[in-house]
Structure 1
């Protein structure tokens, strides 16, 4: 039986960045479609050491979108975000590895919302649901900025 590789909390962000870099050939633009593919695969085939498996929602994916105001030079931006949220054993807070892609605010008309992977029977069903959103039209659009951050909630 093949076991998923397990990585420590302090390796999560670097590991995800490496997965992104090795999945796309050099010079390939980072799109939300690519980020969804890599984050989904990361979720399916990589364990994070010490995740509390006592509840089904202690390791899940979140897709969220909307127009927000950011401090500094970014100002008002439309954001597409894919997050892996997990809870470690013995901790009350959750950890989030987020990959956020920013676009001009003219995509405001797409509104705001979120979809959790645990709201669907399978990860495949979650991805199919995301493809039905109007946001699918942005799948290959190049973002003005990308941020990858691991943080505690």
Structure 2
């Protein structure tokens, strides 16, 4: 049977600051991110199975991405854990804000790598992550492809 790619799109709001950056993005600011998740597999061929004809149920893919990415990053502020903004991060967290300290510079490029690892770990057997596209603004995005990351 043929391999088929399916894509589900998500959106979330996240703030961040780029530690050591030489432009405006060193300041805390936010984006309305759009994430496209594409997986590849063969449609279920068991006509007696409730998922007959599906590579993966869109609702199953949604559950994975929502739990691993959207619920974690939506309305959070992300800082590199080595940033001098750590005191600001602590102050925000102490005031009830959702603050994430990550082991990378929170650029779209590094976030999409992080997201790929988290999603791959949760996909069912026989389903592979094919690609991610993380759109930071209307004209700027980062892409990750499995074929380029073996």
Q: Tell me which structure has the larger Cα radius of gyration.
A: 2
Specify if TM > 0.5: no
- The structure with the largest helix share of the pair is 1
TM-score by length of 1: 0.27
